[in-house]
């Protein structure tokens, strides 16, 4: 099946342990995909949507206990506990292996074992990395074809290079008490059992492309980040790429395929990625980015013609939906899509408002990136695209202004490290609670955050044309809880300010926490936002920021001596300058 001895041996070992009925090596072909889908339609794993209005599209209903990432069941297993850091749950590798071997024993009885070779990143890119996922889920095998470069070409690259990340996945019995997602960064291995949910089961995504890759990236001198990548072209044809980190379910997919507002005739957005960026320092001293993925695993609720028409268009065919509601005529439906009333909720029950939302708040679509109108050929470039600005964003009802510019790289790393956001339905647990989520990597950094921030600082030192670093907040609210900023396509106005700053064409208001737009520099033409709202969005409250800096201080100290002194110094500088502002 393969000329790579290590791979052949591993597949044999896993088969001996898990006892599958059959073994299938995935080639990634359309015929294979069609066979997987036909099998899932037979078994009821997929339901066919209306073939006239939604050709080759399906609904998957997951186990109701298995609808989001489970951070409390996710572990990083390094030989030394401290290497995983306080930001991860840790288990001794030997204990983790013993636990997982017991759970995997006989786990695939009566099922097919799929061997899924995949490549994260363009197949001919030196920055791409390969993996093989062994899974007993046809849904996972089919989704991996959409989300990665999956099949024979990836296997060929593995056979050429010899190295690959080993990912072992089984649905197990889907019982939450027997659900674990284990990472072994030193072995370049992942083991996941008991969940069929995207982030837990599509191992190329968060497990490989972030947790394992961030560990590899630190050793090899690059960055693996939870960032979208997009190009913005102005009417003069100037094209700049930006990378932006937001926590899960904070609008990365919408932003990556943003549609310019009416007033922005001649502007064009080029989508490169919506979730993950692998960033390398180029020979030219700039930062270059590839998107390791080939598809979108996006949040459905809230997606509409108004918020993201590109997404609505791309979801009209060849899409797998997970945990959305259904209309009478078998079209997918979710809250925010339209004012229709669905017939069935995400669990297949007749829809009743008393049962809660019709679509699960973390219901998703899985679709090839090529179906997106704003998708760019540049996503296939082996070298990636050069990044002009890095953006950190969270969901903060108060404090953080619409946009803030870091004074320099070090200050930017502090902005990223002190990011906070209200929790969303993308992970199990309470939603709407503000928690610190440095660089939006809290659930995904595969090693100690102190070392991670040092690595960010060291990477900056190697860039002689470092991108500007910015913080944005599309989610500020007034006292009545209403959003102050319209968001979505209108965010281009803020991105334009950022690009103007990167090109040095406008000034800014320097404050201790960073640089703010000068009055009138955020273009509001044609927009119905009051002066009072804009004022609130573009000013800072010194006392609130002093409190914030105190909290950031305790937060950073919580990570102990591995936190780089430069980060403490930078925070102290900001705090001191804020004290200098006097009492307001």
Q: What is the DSSP letter of 205?
A: I
Number of residues that bind ligand SAT (CB under 6 A): 8
Show contacts with ligand SAT in window 398-427 (CB under 6 A): 426
Q: Given the rule CB under 5 A, which of 132-140, 271-279, 312-320, 469-477 is the region that contacts Mn ion?
A: 271-279
Interface with Mn ion, residue 437, by CB under 5 A: no
Distance CA 543, CA 406 (A): 20
Of the two residues 18 and 421, which places its CB atom closer to ligand SAT in the complex? Answer: 421
Nearest to 385 by CA among 226, 210, 221, 243: 243
Nearest to 257 by CA among 246, 245, 271: 271
Distance CA 193, CA 173 (A): 9
Distance CA 288, CA 280 (A): 5
Tokens linked to 404: 């803030």
Distance CA 294, CA 118 (A): 11
The count of other CB atoms within 10 Å of the CB of residue 418 is 23
Interface with ligand SAT, residue 198, by CB under 6 A: yes
Residue 148, helix vs strand vs coil: coil
**Of ligand SAT, Mn ion, none, which one does residue 311 interact with (CB within 5 to 8 Å by kind)?**
none
Tell me how far, at minimum, the Cβ of 369 lies from ligand SAT, in Å.
15
Please tell me which residue in 207, 250, 372, 445 is annotated as part of the active site: 250
364-368/295-299 β-pairing? antiparallel
Of the two residues 209 and 389, which places its CB atom closer to ligand SAT in the complex? Answer: 209
**Of Mn ion, ligand SAT, none, which one does residue 297 interact with (CB within 5 to 8 Å by kind)?**
ligand SAT
**Of Mn ion, ligand SAT, none, which one does residue 205 interact with (CB within 5 to 8 Å by kind)?**
ligand SAT
Distance CA 502, CA 19 (A): 57
Of the two residues 136 and 437, which places its CB atom closer to ligand SAT in the complex? Answer: 437
Interface with ligand SAT, residue 199, by CB under 6 A: yes
Instruction: Give helix 138-147 / helix 30-43 axis angle, nearest 10°.
Output: 140
Q: DSSP E strands: which ranges in 323-425?
A: 325-326, 332-333, 364-368, 385-393, 403-405, 420-422
Nearest to 18 by CA among 104, 92, 89: 104
Of the two residues 111 and 206, which places its CB atom closer to ligand SAT in the complex? Answer: 206
Of the two residues 290 and 537, which places its CB atom closer to Mn ion in the complex? Answer: 290
Tokens linked to 384: 């990636």
DSSP string for 70-106? -GGGEEE--SSHHHH-TTSEE--HHHHHHHHHHHHTT
318: number of CA atoms within 13 Å, CB side?
14
Interface with Mn ion, residue 248, by CB under 5 A: yes
Q: Which residue has the tokens 């201080």?
A: 553
Interface with ligand SAT, residue 167, by CB under 6 A: no
Tokens linked to 184: 């072994």
x-marked contacts with ligand SAT along 17-56 as a string, rule CB under 6 A: ----------------------------------------
Q: Given the rule CB under 6 A, which of 199-207, 258-266, 372-380, 406-414 is the region that contacts ligand SAT?
A: 199-207
Tell me how far, at minimum, the Cβ of 353 lies from ligand SAT, in Å.
27
Residues 6+ apart with CB under 8 A from 16: none
Which of 225, 274, 275, 437 forms a contact with Mn ion (CB under 5 A)? 275
Beta bridge partners of 24: 114
Of the two residues 199 and 393, which places its CB atom closer to ligand SAT in the complex? Answer: 199
**Of Mn ion, ligand SAT, none, which one does residue 426 interact with (CB within 5 to 8 Å by kind)?**
ligand SAT
Of the two residues 248 and 376, which places its CB atom closer to Mn ion in the complex? Answer: 248
Tell me how far, at minimum, the Cβ of 257 lies from Mn ion, in Å.
15
Tokens linked to 292: 């390791």
Residue 487 — left, alpha, or beta (φ > 0 → left; ψ -120 to 50 → alpha)? left
**Of ligand SAT, Mn ion, none, which one does residue 211 interact with (CB within 5 to 8 Å by kind)?**
none
Tell me how far, at minimum, the Cβ of 291 lies from Mn ion, in Å.
12
Secondary structure element (H or E) that encloses residue 135, with its range: strand 129-135
**Of ligand SAT, Mn ion, none, which one does residue 198 interact with (CB within 5 to 8 Å by kind)?**
ligand SAT
Question: Which residue's Cβ lies closest to ligand SAT?
Answer: 199
Of the two residues 364 and 455, which places its CB atom closer to Mn ion in the complex? Answer: 364
Of the two residues 320 and 492, which places its CB atom closer to ligand SAT in the complex? Answer: 320
DSSP string for 448-496? -HHHHHHHHHHHHHT-SSPPEEEEE-TT-B-TTS-BSS--GGGGHHHHH
Q: Given the rule CB under 6 A, which of 77-85, 162-170, 198-206, 407-415 is the region that contacts ligand SAT?
A: 198-206
Show contacts with ligand SAT in window 203-232 (CB under 6 A): 205-206
Of the two residues 33 and 297, which places its CB atom closer to ligand SAT in the complex? Answer: 297
Tell me how far, at minimum, the Cβ of 210 lies from Mn ion, in Å.
8
**Of ligand SAT, Mn ion, none, which one does residue 279 interact with (CB within 5 to 8 Å by kind)?**
none
Per the annotation, the verdict on 372 as an active-site residue is no
Interface with Mn ion, residue 45, by CB under 5 A: no
Tell me how far, at minimum, the Cβ of 56 lies from ligand SAT, in Å.
23
Interface with ligand SAT, residue 69, by CB under 6 A: yes
Q: Given the rule CB under 6 A, which of 197-205, 306-314, 452-460, 552-560 is the region that contacts ligand SAT?
A: 197-205
**Of Mn ion, ligand SAT, none, which one does residue 379 interact with (CB within 5 to 8 Å by kind)?**
none
Interface with ligand SAT, residue 321, by CB under 6 A: no
Distance CA 167, CA 161 (A): 18
Q: What is the DSSP letter of 344?
A: B
Binding site for ligand SAT (CB under 6 A): 69, 198-199, 205-206, 248, 297, 426
Q: What is the set of active-site residues?
A: 250
Binding site for Mn ion (CB under 5 A): 248, 275
């Amino acid at each position: 099946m393969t000329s790579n001895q290590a791979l052949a041996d591993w597949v044999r070992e896993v088969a001996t342990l898990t006892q599958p009925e059959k073994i299938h090596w995935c080639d990634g072909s359309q015929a294979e995909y069609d066979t997987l889908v036909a099998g899932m339609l037979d078994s009821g794993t997929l339901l066919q949507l209306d073939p006239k209005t939604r050709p080759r599209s399906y609904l998957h209903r997951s186990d109701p206990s298995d609808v989001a990432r489970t951070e409390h069941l996710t572990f990083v297993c390094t030989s030394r506990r401290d290497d995983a850091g306080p930001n991860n749950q840790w288990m001794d590798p030997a204990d983790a292996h013993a636990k997982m071997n017991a759970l995997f024993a006989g786990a695939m009885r009566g099922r097919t074992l799929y061997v899924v070779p995949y490549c994260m990143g363009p197949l001919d890119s030196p920055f791409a990395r390969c993996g093989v996922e062994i899974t007993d889920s046809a849904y996972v095998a089919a989704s991996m074809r959409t989300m990665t470069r999956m099949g024979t070409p990836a296997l060929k690259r593995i056979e050429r290079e010899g190295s690959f990340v080993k990912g072992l996945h089984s649905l197990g019995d889907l019982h939450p008490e027997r659900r674990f997602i284990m990472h072994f960064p030193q072995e370049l291995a992942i083991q996941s059992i008991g969940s069929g949910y995207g982030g837990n089961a599509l191992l190329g995504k968060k497990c490989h492309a972030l947790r394992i890759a961030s560990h590899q990236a630190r050793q090899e001198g690059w960055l693996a980040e939870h960032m979208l990548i997009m190009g913005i072209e102005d009417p003069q044809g100037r094209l700049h790429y930006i990378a932006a980190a937001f926590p899960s379910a904070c609008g990365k997919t919408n932003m990556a395929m943003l549609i310019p507002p009416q007033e922005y005739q001649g502007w064009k957005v080029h989508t490169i990625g919506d979730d993950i960026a692998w960033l390398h320092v180029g020979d030219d001293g700039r930062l270059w980015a590839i998107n390791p993925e080939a598809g979108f695993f996006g949040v459905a609720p809230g997606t509409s013609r108004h918020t993201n028409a590109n997404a609505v268009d791309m979801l009209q065919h060849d899409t797998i939906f997970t945990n959305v509601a259904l209309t009478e005529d078998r079209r997918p439906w979710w809250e925010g899509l339209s004012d229709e009333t669905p017939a069935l909720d995400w669990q297949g029950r007749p829809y009743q408002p008393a049962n809660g939302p019709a679509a699960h708040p973390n219901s998703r679509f899985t679709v090839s990136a090529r179906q997106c109108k704003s998708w760019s050929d540049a996503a296939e470039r082996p070298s990636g695209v050069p990044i002009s600005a890095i953006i950190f964003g969270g969901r903060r009802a108060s404090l953080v202004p619409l946009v803030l510019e870091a004074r320099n790289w070090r200050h930017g790393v502090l902005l990223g490290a002190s990011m906070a956001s209200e929790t969303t339905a993308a992970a199990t647990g309470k939603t709407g609670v503000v928690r610190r989520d440095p660089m939006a990597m809290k659930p995904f950094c595969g090693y100690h955050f102190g070392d991670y921030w040092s690595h960010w600082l060291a990477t900056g030192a190697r860039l002689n044309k470092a991108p500007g670093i910015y913080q944005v907040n599309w989610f500020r609210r007034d006292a009545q809880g209403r959003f102050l900023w319209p968001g979505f396509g209108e965010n281009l106005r803020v991105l334009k300010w950022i690009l103007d700053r990167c090109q040095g064409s406008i000034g800014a208001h320097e404050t201790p926490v960073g640089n703010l737009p000068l009055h009138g520099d955020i273009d509001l033409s044609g927009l119905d936002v009051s002066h009072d709202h804009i004022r609130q969005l573009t000013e800072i409250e010194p006392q609130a920021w002093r409190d914030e800096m105190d909290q950031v201080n305790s937060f950073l100290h919580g990570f102990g001596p591995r936190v780089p002194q430069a980060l403490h110094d930078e925070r102290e500088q900001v705090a001191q300058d804020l004290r200098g502002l006097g009492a307001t």
